Structure 1
């Protein structure tokens, strides 16, 4: 379990992952050797699972985001597997989540514009297998988004 020093390192690392390690060590209040040792320990224990690149899809020309909620017809034992497999094949699906309750799946789908959304919806979304009901919510604005933990 990470201690207070590890959490301080993680807070500073998350705040600016591109900062030089010398600066990170200074901001976290540890030596560079301690920083390297603790980061290595957190990587090996799975606390830090790697580094990722985040691409701003809006800057890549995608202006529309739609959240789709699905309830599946569960009469087929493969309904969840078939739906998941088909949804993964849609390049514009950027997130797939499953739920317990009245909604089985939520997909986040991006499109360049409304005409592109309509094309994706008609050719890819409506053909997803085992759908009993669906509901679409178009994103207007994101009020808060954070990947940071309350460290």
Structure 2
């Protein structure tokens, strides 16, 4: 479990992941050696799992984002595995989540425009296996999208 020093490092790392290690150490109030040791420990324990680039899909020409909710036909014991495998093969699916409750899966799907969305929906989404019901929610705006944690 991270202690107070680790939490300071994590707060500063989340605030500016691209900052040089010297500035990160300074902002977290630790020496460079301490920073290095703590980061290595948090990586080895799985507290820090890699580093990722956050990409603004709209800047790459993807103007449409749709959240799709699915309930699967559970009479097929392989329904979840088959659905997951097929959904992973759709390049426009950028996120797959499973749920406990009335919804089994949620997919986030991006498309360049409405014509592209229609093509993806007709040829890739409607062909996903074992779907009992589905519901689509089109993203209008994002109010909050944060990776910050209450550290």
When the two structures are superposed, what TM-score results if normalisation uses the length of structure 1?
0.98
For 2:66, the equivalent position in structure 1 comes to 66
For 2:56, the equivalent position in structure 1 comes to 56
Aligned length: 151
CA distance in 1, matches of 2:30, 2:101: 46
For 1:5, the equivalent position in structure 2 comes to 5
1:92 to partner: Cα distance: 0.1
For 1:90, the equivalent position in structure 2 comes to 90
Q: Secondary structure, in 3 states, of the residue corresponding to 1:146?
A: coil
RMSD: 0.6
Pairs within 5 Å for 1:1-151: 1-151=1-151
Q: Secondary structure, in 3 states, of the residue corresponding to 2:91?
A: coil
Runs of 4+, deviation exceeding 2 Å: none
Residue deviations 1:8-54 (CA, integer Å, cap 9, x gap)? 01000110011111111110011111111111111111111111122
When the two structures are superposed, what TM-score results if normalisation uses the length of structure 2?
0.98
- Unaligned 5+ segments in structure 1 are none
- Unaligned 5+ segments in structure 2 are none
